[in-house]
Structure 1
Amino acid sequence: MWRYAIFIGLFLVIVPLVPQYFGNQSDGARFIRPKDDRSPGTKLDQQSERSGVGRRHVVQMSPNGAYITEARLNGRRLTMLIDTGASAVALPERDARSMGIFILPSDYRIPVKTANGVVSGASATVRDLELGDVRLKDIPALILPDRALSTPLLGMSALNRLSRFHFSNDTLILVQ
């Protein structure tokens, strides 16, 4: 458990430095199934595509050098920073609440070192994660207080569930 907390702490320290470098499980959490805000027939992301070998999701590099994508977690849309240096999916508490993950104050037991110091995080599970055509189930996540994390992170707890992901020029390709 401490190894997990140390890895989470490291990525929270490194994440704020990433834009500068590139230039310009459900442990006590209670779940409520939120209403799906998706309209019938709409596509989550125009850059998603389906191939004969597997489901793919293509993400273009943003002008600041980061890979940012629209995702759907437990039926709710969320913009996430893809962070291969992050051990897990990490969510601010406000985003977790919006997708039906409610954390009690007593659930914040995992010490996490961030750029702003040590905070306590709570373990949870994202029931459904959609990235275009890619669909993942029961992804371990870490919920942090809003003051400790401003941008939701798509880390290795989700990326390891893919058959592969690779970078090609300024494009990240996720393959299920």
Structure 2
Amino acid sequence: MLPRAFLLFMVPIAGLAVLRPDAFETLLGFAVHRAPPAATATPAAVPAGGNGGYPAKRLYAGRDGHVRARARADGRAFDVLVDTGATIVALTWATGLDLGLVRPGMAMDAPMQTANGRVMGKRVTIPRLEVEGLAVAAVDAVVLPQGALAVNLLGMSYLSKLRRFEFAQNTLLLEQ
């Protein structure tokens, strides 16, 4: 039988490792006398040496299994949901307006097949899209009409321009 003190200590630590891998990595850093990863909400920097020195980020899936990230374009920040099944970055109408990519009355020129059926969108190019600090130039995107999309989707038009991306054990590694 394990000592009671051990169980009182390890059960919360095991729960932390499952629920908040980023916080567990920080604790582990203290335990093995190495510097903890940079303090971030969900994303964490990949330690140098493990990826050949390329800039990289780890993003963790939420309880719902989806990976969310913070993006920037034209000096404005917005949230995205990573969608490897999406061919192109898809933006909500509100985000497209905020970034100056569309304006009211613009003709929609791109037929899109979404989970909710077919819809017409506006093809655009985002000059520079940064996701969690990893910037990519000239990203093809589509802005969908108001009400057609609830959340911005980070699709393959961004992901395929990275050096690599990999999803394993509820963690998405993005490497530039």
State TM-score, norm by structure 1: 0.69
1:47 aligns with 2:43: yes
| Structure 1 runs, 4 residues or longer, greater than 6 Å off | 43-46
1:108 aligns with 2:108: yes
- Per-residue deviation, 1:44: 8.5
Structure (1 or 2) with the greater strand fraction: 1
Unaligned runs of 5+ in 2: 1-38
RMSD: 2.1
C-alpha distance after superposition, 1:44-75 (max 9, x if no partner): 86634263621112110110011111111222
- Per-residue deviation, 1:157: 0.2
Query: 1:159, 1:173 → 2: CA distance?
Result: 11
Aligned pairs (5 A) from 1:9-24: none
Query: 1:53, 1:73 → 2: CA distance?
Result: 25
Aligned partner of 1:128 in structure 2 is 128
Where 1:87 maps in the other structure, the secondary structure is coil
Query: 2:117, 2:138 → 1: CA distance?
Result: 29
Q: Which has the larger radius of gyration?
A: 2
Aligned length in residues:
134
C-alpha distance after superposition, 1:134-172 (max 9, x if no partner): 111110001101211110000000000001001231110
Higher relative contact order (CA 8 A, sep 6+): 1
Where 1:96 maps in the other structure, the secondary structure is helix
State TM-score, norm by structure 2: 0.69
